[in-house]
Amino acid sequence: MSSVLITHAKVVNEGRIAELDVLVRNGRIEKIGADLSSLKVDRIIDATGKHLLPGMIDDQVHFREPGLTHKGEIATESAAAVAGGITSYMEMPNVNPLTINRAALEDKYDRAVQKSLANFAFYLGASNDNLDEIKAIDPNAACGIKVFMGASTGNMLVDKRETLEGIFANSPIIVVTHCEDSPMIKLNEDRYREQYGEDVPMACHPLIRSEEACWKSSTLAVELAKKHGTQLHILHLTTAKELALLTPGDLAGKRITGEACAHHLYFNEADYATKGALIKCNPAIKTAADQDALLNAVNDGRIDVIATDHAPHTWDEKQQSYFKAPSGLPLVQHALISLLEHYHNGRFSLETIVQKTSHNVARLFQIAERGYIREGYWADLVLVDLTAPTVVDQQKILYKCGWSPFAGTIFKSSIVTTLVNGDIAFENGQVNSAVRGKRLAFNRR
Ligand code: DOR
C-alpha cells in the first residue's frame, strides 16, 4: 500500500494533542493538516475518537536470537511488538554466541532484515576482554554498548574495575548499564539459602537483589561516567534511592540519563503473592514506595525513557524453584497499554508517555527520522483507542513462550493499528507478517 490517509486523529506529539489528518505515502509522513480529505489515496483510516502516537521505540529488548530461540525469536517477538504499538526496538547482546564483536553484530542485522516486522538496532556487548572491539565500533553500527555491571541471564558480567574504566573512557557511543552489585547479591543468596534451602519464596527476590545492591552499582556507574565524561544511560531503575543520582528536567544536555520499565511501573512487591516467578526479573520489582517514586520521576524528568526489557523465558523454565527459575518476563505486546493505565489513573499525561517512549529515545540515541509525527519522517505510527478495553486473553498472546504476566488483566485501552514505515503491520487484532522493518539509522559522526 503506497498511500494511507488517517483522518480526524487526536495526534499526540511534541507536547500537544490536536485533531489532525495525516497523509502517509511511500513509507513517510508526507503531510499533516487540519483537513486533507480532498487528497486521492489508496486507503483512508477514519480515526475519529482515537489517538495517534508516534510508535514506541523500545530501547531494551531480548529477542533471544541466535542461540536461545526456544525462548523467543526475532520473527515472533517483533510480531508481538507491533501488536503492542512498538515500531522500533534495540536488542540486547546476551544471546549465544554473545554479541561481543562486530561479526556477531552484523549476523544479527542480517537475521533481522529477513525476519523483523519492526525496525531494529543491536547493542554491542561489553565483556572483560573486548575493549578493542568497543573502541573500533562504527557509531552507526550499534545503538550502544551494553555493560552488565551485575550478572543476569547469560554470562556477561563485567566486574573488573580497570575494564570498566577502559569502557567508560573509550566508548565512542552511548554506554547503557545493568546496575546491580553481584558480590552483594551472592551474600544475600547464601543467607536466604541457609534459611529456606532451594525453595526461597519469590517474594524474597527484592531482598536478595536488594536496594543496596542496585545503589552500589549505580553509584559506581555514575562515578565512572562523571570521571570520564561518558554518555551513560542507566537501564531499568527500580529504587527510589537511585533516583537521587539523576537530574530532573528535559533530556537536553544530560550526560547521565535513566530508564524505567513498564513492569516496574506497573507491579510492586505485593504482586509476588499472585504472580510468583512470572514477575521475577533483574533488577527485581520492589516496594510500592519505589514504584510510586519511579512514577513521579517519569513526570519530573529524572527518568528520561520508558522501555520494556522484554525478556521471555519458557513457561516450564518459570515453574522451577527460586534459584532455577530464570529472571525476565515477556512484555512488548502489552507494555504501551499498561502505560496508558497510568494515564487513566491520572499519573501520566499522554504527552509524557509519548515523550518517554518515543521522542526521548530518538533524541538520546540520535535515531534519524523517527520518534516524532513530523512531515518527512518515517511513518511509524500507532493508533490507540482509550475507550476500548483489552482483555489479555491466552489465545491472543503472540510470544513464542506463549504466556504473559498480564494474562487475565483487563486494560482500559487497546492498540488499534500499527504502521511501520507506512506499512500496516497490525490491524483488527491481526499481525501482517509480510511487513519488514528497517535497520535504524543514526545521526552520529
Ligand atoms: O530479568 C532480566 N532478564 N534481566 C536481565 O538483565 C536479563 C533478562 C534476560 O535476558 O532474561
DSSP code string of 345-359: TTSS-HHHHHIIIII
- Report residue 119 as a C-alpha cell: 525496525
* CA of 38 relative to ligand 1 center, distance in Å: 50
Q: What is the pLDDT of residue 147?
A: 98
Facing residues of 7 across strands?
46
- Report residue 275 as a C-alpha cell: 504472580
For residue 260, what is the domain's CATH number? 3.20.20.140
Residues of the chain with pLDDT under 70: 1
Is the shortest distance between the CB of 318 and ligand 1 below 6 Å? Answer: no
Nearest CA owner, ligand 1 atom 3:
328
Q: What is the pLDDT of residue 266?
A: 99
Pocket test for ligand 1, best of 179, 205, 309 (most atoms within 8 A of CB): 309
**Contact, 217 vs 150, CB < 8 A?**
yes
**Contact, 6 vs 47, CB < 8 A?**
yes
Q: Is residue 443 part of a domain?
A: no
**Contact, 85 vs 420, CB < 8 A?**
no
Residue at 79: amino acid letter: A
Closest C-alpha among 1, 9, 4, 3 to residue 35: 9
For residue 398, what is the domain's CATH number? 2.30.40.10
Please, what sign has the CA dihedral across residues 359, 363, 367, 368?
Answer: positive
Is the shortest distance between the CB of 325 and ligand 1 below 6 Å? Answer: no
Q: Is residue 436 part of a domain?
A: no
Pocket test for ligand 1, best of 61, 62, 324 (most atoms within 8 A of CB): 62
Is the shortest distance between the CB of 282 and ligand 1 below 6 Å? Answer: yes
Q: Is residue 124 part of a domain?
A: yes
The CA distances from residue 279 to 264, 312, 329, 441, in Å, are 10, 11, 6, 34
**Contact, 186 vs 208, CB < 8 A?**
no
Is the shortest distance between the CB of 238 and ligand 1 below 6 Å? Answer: no
Tell me, yes or no, whether 194 and 104 share the same domain: yes
- Report residue 385 as a C-alpha cell: 483507542
**Cα-trace Rg, the chain:** 21
Tell me, yes or no, whether 202 and 292 share the same domain: yes
Task: Give how far the C-alpha of residue 388 lies from the chain's centroid of Cα atoms, to the nearest Å.
Answer: 24
* CA of 108 relative to ligand 1 center, distance in Å: 19
**Number of domains the chain is built from:** 2
Tell me, yes or no, whether 212 and 300 share the same domain: yes
Q: What is the pLDDT of residue 151?
A: 86
Last residue of a domain, one of 327, 346, 365: 365
**Contact, 53 vs 354, CB < 8 A?**
yes
> Range of 258's domain?
55-365
Tell me, yes or no, whether 263 and 341 share the same domain: yes
Alpha helices in 88-232 (DSSP H): 102-115, 131-136, 161-170, 182-196, 205-208, 211-228
Tell me, yes or no, whether 256 and 332 share the same domain: yes
* CA of 153 relative to ligand 1 center, distance in Å: 5
Q: Is residue 437 part of a domain?
A: no
Last residue of a domain, one of 365, 385, 417: 365
Q: What is the pLDDT of residue 1?
A: 58
Closest C-alpha among 223, 220, 116, 225 to residue 170: 225
- Report residue 29 as a C-alpha cell: 509522513
Omega into 139 within 30° of 0, i.e. cis? no
Closest C-alpha among 175, 131, 130 to residue 149: 175
Residue at 70: amino acid letter: H
Residue 385 CA to residue 377 CA, distance in Å, equals 23
**Contact, 182 vs 162, CB < 8 A?**
no
Tell me, yes or no, whether 103 and 187 share the same domain: yes
Q: Is residue 438 part of a domain?
A: no
Tell me, yes or no, whether 24 and 102 share the same domain: no
Pocket test for ligand 1, best of 58, 69, 94 (most atoms within 8 A of CB): 94
**pTM, 2 dp:** 0.98
Q: Is residue 224 part of a domain?
A: yes
Is the shortest distance between the CB of 328 and ligand 1 below 6 Å? Answer: yes
**Contact, 269 vs 205, CB < 8 A?**
no
**3-state class (DSSP) for residue 270:** helix
- Report residue 395 as a C-alpha cell: 489465545
Last residue of a domain, one of 344, 365, 386: 365
Is the shortest distance between the CB of 263 and ligand 1 below 6 Å? Answer: no
Q: Is residue 271 part of a domain?
A: yes
Strands 390-391 and 410-411, by their bridges, are antiparallel
**Contact, 91 vs 123, CB < 8 A?**
yes
* CA of 19 relative to ligand 1 center, distance in Å: 40
Tell me, yes or no, whether 109 and 139 share the same domain: yes
For the packed helices 102-115 and 74-83, what is the interaxial angle rounded to 10 degrees?
A: 60
Q: What is the pLDDT of residue 155?
A: 83
Tell me, yes or no, whether 233 and 209 share the same domain: yes
Q: What is the pLDDT of residue 178?
A: 98
Is the shortest distance between the CB of 327 and ligand 1 below 6 Å? Answer: yes
Q: Is residue 441 part of a domain?
A: no
* Total count of residues recorded for the chain: 445
Residue at 301: amino acid letter: G
* CA of 152 relative to ligand 1 center, distance in Å: 6
